A and B are shown apart, each in its own frame.
Chain A
């Protein structure tokens, strides 16, 4: 009996409260070769066994819940709204890590109207998100938030690629580069890096958000913040000088074009610097089902970006 070993991928939900998911039931789990119908076990190992989870669950799929949440609403600018959500206490714990996000929708609209929003900050006051209003879903959500409760679904975890690199950095230098609404992902990333005893520096530019709304929170945490008007003109040259000090990791938050530029700077600066990025895929269901965030790895495998953490050289195909 000959075997073929397929390169394993990491799933952010593997072994969590939300494993097994629909992908296990459909034989499409991209982590577990046995759930994909192969004969032998070969996974990237998340610290737990997805096959075991599936067997013990007896085929019952673990899904996320929807809860009704009270909202406090504050306009930060013409298109920018800050929402403070009164979430269940259990969610507050789970949403405190980099990459955490939720789907939010108005009470009276169907799940298709739900907007994926990154957790900006978690505090005793609740969970903060910043909404950039630029399309029908965000506009309807902003209107509803001003007048009534919202429905939140979550928690989801894969808003950041390169989570392992952020966790690995200990007692080193770390750099954040964020433009526009990319700033929303920086605070939880900074918290993680600071927990690891790293010295964190951030370069922020307002971009289309019009304001460096993350600057205050980052400074309060002890991050050295440099605010620039434009990342391209001022920010990246500054980051270039920071890279000379060989930080362990750089977190790029913004459009894919920014990730590409940062990746090129890192490549020039030499080996040993890891890259983590914000996710810019379109998320609709968050469960790996709808196909809106599907990408293909360098090996040609079809994987949903709402769940997959890519291994090192697979981090780039969607940046090309």
Chain B
């Protein structure tokens, strides 16, 4: 029997738990808040640009369970908005119970309100994590999917203070880092001005606070573009964003709303009195963060040094996923790295070589680029996403971008990896 502990119940942790379970491990997933999915509770954008390719790769590798579960709760499919093609928007209000049921049905033990605060180590191996309440959870291998957002002090120092985002640190306690508690090295994103971290790139309005006509349009079309009066155009705000794929002029000159169940406003924050000057938004109020008139959460502040198999440097049995594994931003990125970390943790536990995805796959390429940054002293100088900014360009140049399922499956098959995440490794 192989016992796996996944620390952190965001998209990365959920994907790692699914992959580890598929590989035959007994899996316990611990999450400090009362809900799974973390930032996935307020995001919702899938399949845009190169994420389409990465999602199909993950499915061909054997990680289709999560993507299949999302099929039932997409509010809009094949949506285009400035700079982005063929996006799918899942319903952030519906998603959590769907994923929780998926995990529970697969026999994954989910422990919410469980914050890891210490680790027990023997040499370079972690033996157990200790929860805040003192309980000890022993495991053969571990996935650290604790993310990089917050805690409060970081949002104070590098952002505009705690803005009461969905992470809810003041209520559930701040995230901790398994890798760091075990002595692993970490780094933060460094902005050109020398400050650290990046601000979450969107905030959400309560849909019921929109004017009825605007709300109808958003429900029907999935997006609304409202031009901003010239005095409210602030292009410098784009630089703050963690999601550089949305740092396009169109996002500075307009209010872009996407229908994810909330009205997702594609700006890190927006002063409420300015927002209410726009037609249809006269009575607008924020759903997340509650103080999105002031700021947003700060991210990319605690990434781990790891190799291409996502194993943490200096620790034998800890693998990292999501933003913890490096500055690859987004749900798809988290799921893709989560699947690999969960799968590899089980491989390690049964004495097999961990898997490294080839650079003929977009997922392999993004992981390898971050590894190169670490090796060449550029840790934290750039962030990546399948959906835009520099990496989507790389995907196109290297002919990695495709929306053809057959083609993507062929690439995975040629690498000898078709369905590999679906194979049990434990006898």
Taking CB atoms and an 8 Å cut-off, the chain B residues in 81-118 that contact chain A are: 117-118
Interface pair A44/B117, CB less than 8 Å apart: yes
**CB proximity of A40 to chain B, nearest CB, Å:** 6
| Interface range for A | 20 to 34
**CB proximity of B33 to chain A, nearest CB, Å:** 13
A302 proximity list for chain B (CB < 8 A): none
Taking CB atoms and an 8 Å cut-off, the chain B residues in 172-192 that contact chain A are: 173-174, 176-177, 180-181, 185-188, 190
Instruction: List the one stretch of B47-55, B150-158, B259-267, B357-365 in contact with chain A.
Output: B150-158
Q: How far is the CA of A312 from the CA of B174 in the complex (A)?
A: 19
Interface presence of B422 (CB below 8 A): no
| Interface range for B | 20 to 34
- Of the candidates B134, B151, B170, B186, which one forms a contact with A41 in the assembled complex, judged by CB atoms under 8 Å apart? B151
A32 proximity list for chain B (CB < 8 A): 153
Interface pair A45/B156, CB less than 8 Å apart: no
Interface presence of A241 (CB below 8 A): no
- Of the candidates A5, A47, A55, which one forms a contact with B186 in the assembled complex, judged by CB atoms under 8 Å apart? A5
Interface presence of A285 (CB below 8 A): no
**CB proximity of B333 to chain A, nearest CB, Å:** 22
Interface presence of B301 (CB below 8 A): yes
**CB proximity of A162 to chain B, nearest CB, Å:** 12
Q: Nearest residue in A to B154 (C-beta to C-beta)?
A: A41
**CB proximity of B181 to chain A, nearest CB, Å:** 7
Interface presence of B421 (CB below 8 A): no
Interface presence of B133 (CB below 8 A): yes
Known contacts A3-B186, A3-B187; is-contact A33 B302 (Cβ 8 Å)? no
B157 proximity list for chain A (CB < 8 A): 34, 41, 51
Interface pair B170/A48, CB less than 8 Å apart: yes
Known contacts A33-B153, A40-B302, A41-B154; is-contact A49 B186 (Cβ 8 Å)? no
Interface pair A5/B156, CB less than 8 Å apart: no
Interface pair B180/A3, CB less than 8 Å apart: yes
Interface presence of A1 (CB below 8 A): yes
What's the A-B contact tally at a CB cutoff of 8 Å? 76
Interface pair A312/B134, CB less than 8 Å apart: yes
A39 proximity list for chain B (CB < 8 A): 188, 196
A33 proximity list for chain B (CB < 8 A): 153
Interface presence of B419 (CB below 8 A): no
Taking CB atoms and an 8 Å cut-off, the chain A residues in 224-253 that contact chain B are: none
Interface presence of A134 (CB below 8 A): no
B196 proximity list for chain A (CB < 8 A): 1, 39-40
Taking CB atoms and an 8 Å cut-off, the chain B residues in 370-400 that contact chain A are: 379-380
A274 proximity list for chain B (CB < 8 A): 134
Interface presence of A2 (CB below 8 A): yes
Q: How far is the CA of A2 from the CA of B380 in the complex (A)?
A: 10
Q: How far is the CA of A118 from the CA of B154 in the complex (A)?
A: 38
**CB proximity of A9 to chain B, nearest CB, Å:** 12
Q: How far is the CA of A277 from the CA of B153 in the complex (A)?
A: 32
Q: How far is the CA of A168 from the CA of B131 in the complex (A)?
A: 14
Q: Nearest residue in A to B157 (C-beta to C-beta)?
A: A34
A5 proximity list for chain B (CB < 8 A): 177, 180-181, 186
Interface presence of A52 (CB below 8 A): yes
- Of the candidates B133, B170, B181, B380, which one forms a contact with A1 in the assembled complex, judged by CB atoms under 8 Å apart? B380
Minimum-distance CB pairs A-B, first 8 = A41-B153, A5-B180, A49-B152, A41-B154, A45-B173, A51-B153, A3-B186, A34-B153
Could you jot down 24 A-B contacts, CB within 8 Å? A1-B188, A1-B380, A2-B185, A2-B186, A2-B187, A3-B186, A5-B177, A5-B181, A39-B196, A40-B154, A40-B302, A41-B151, A41-B153, A41-B174, A42-B176, A42-B180, A43-B153, A43-B174, A47-B170, A47-B173, A49-B151, A49-B152, A52-B162, A168-B134
Given contacts A5-B180, A168-B134, 19 further A-B contacts (CB under 8 A): A2-B187, A3-B180, A3-B187, A3-B302, A5-B186, A32-B153, A39-B188, A41-B151, A41-B153, A41-B157, A41-B174, A49-B151, A49-B156, A49-B162, A51-B153, A52-B152, A52-B162, A312-B130, A312-B134
